[in-house]
Amino acid sequence: MIDEQTDKPKPRSSFWKELPILLGVAILVAVLVRAFVLQTFYIPSPSMQHTLDYNDRVLVNKLVYNFRSPHRGEIVVFEAPEQWRSIPEGEDFIKRVIGVGGDHVVCCDAQRRITINGQPLDETYIFTNPEGQRDPAASQDFDVTVPAGRLWVMGDHRSASGDSLEHWEQSQGDIQIATIDEDSVVGRAFTVFWPFGRATWLSPPETFDAVPAPAD
């Protein structure tokens, strides 16, 4: 036997009464996700070419570093230190993590490669121009030890990147100015999702797997 009270369709007016609530919940969920979990960013400069090109859209995981520190090779979005900014207000930068706290980062070995804790990096992701010429690993030699809780970051387009090396040079070797605080990191860029033709995962390159832990 069918319950007549539950068999009757809801009046149309009830849908319109519930619609504002549904929209409100959807907006609240979207705001919470953007604030705490995922956010999209677009690429406004050539500093990460051709891993990331002008106007690429990337998806950033804002939650991951609540549970661990950034790893070498990851691409991170961070709030730029005051000395790095072109305007006084906060700016978000995107770079690749090369060295983490305690790492001894040196340029360069006999093959002009950056080494971390004595292990050379084969940086196949560094920008290559249309003539097939790859940027050098660095514009000048350097020898730094990254302080605890800080990161040495560089762009993949080394000759067009305002990164740790540039600010190390400009500050006459001030490692605090040249590195960024882990707490300034907004999140990890883990995929390019637009344009569709360039969609890809942004996994850390395998060359970082061989880097040993820093010496005590």
Query: Would you say residue 22 lies in a domain?
Result: no
How far apart, in whole angstroms, are the C-alpha atoms of residue 146 and residue 142? Answer: 12
- pLDDT over 70 at 69, yes or no: yes
Nearest alpha-carbon partner for 70 in 40, 97, 36: 97
Q: What's the confidence (pLDDT) of residue 37?
A: 61
Query: Would you say residue 25 lies in a domain?
Result: no
Yes or no: say if 151 and 182 are a contact pair by the CB < 8 Å rule.
yes
Query: Would you say residue 26 lies in a domain?
Result: no
How far apart, in whole angstroms, are the C-alpha atoms of residue 57 and residue 198? Answer: 10
Query: Would you say residue 18 lies in a domain?
Result: no
Nearest alpha-carbon partner for 171 in 94, 101, 79, 82: 82
Percent of residues, the chain, with pLDDT higher than 90: 77
Structural domains in the chain (count): 1
State which amino acid sits at residue 208.
F
Mean pLDDT along residues 122-139: 95
Across the chain, mean pLDDT equals 88
Mean pLDDT along residues 4-18: 56
Query: Would you say residue 142 lies in a domain?
Result: yes
Residue scoring higher pLDDT (24 or 163): 163
Tell me if the pTM is above 0.95. no
Query: Would you say residue 3 lies in a domain?
Result: no
Q: Which domain holds residue 90?
A: 39-210
Enumerate the active-site residues.
47, 95
Nearest alpha-carbon partner for 65 in 160, 184, 201, 194: 184
How do residues 168-204 score in pLDDT, each as one tens digit? 999 999 999 999 999 999 999 999 999 999 999 999 9
Query: Would you say residue 143 lies in a domain?
Result: yes
- pLDDT over 90 at 6, yes or no: no
- pLDDT over 80 at 96, yes or no: yes
Query: Would you say residue 55 lies in a domain?
Result: yes
CATH of residue 161's domain is 2.10.109.10
Q: What's the confidence (pLDDT) of residue 5?
A: 46
How do residues 98-116 score in pLDDT, each as one tens digit? 999 999 999 999 999 999 9
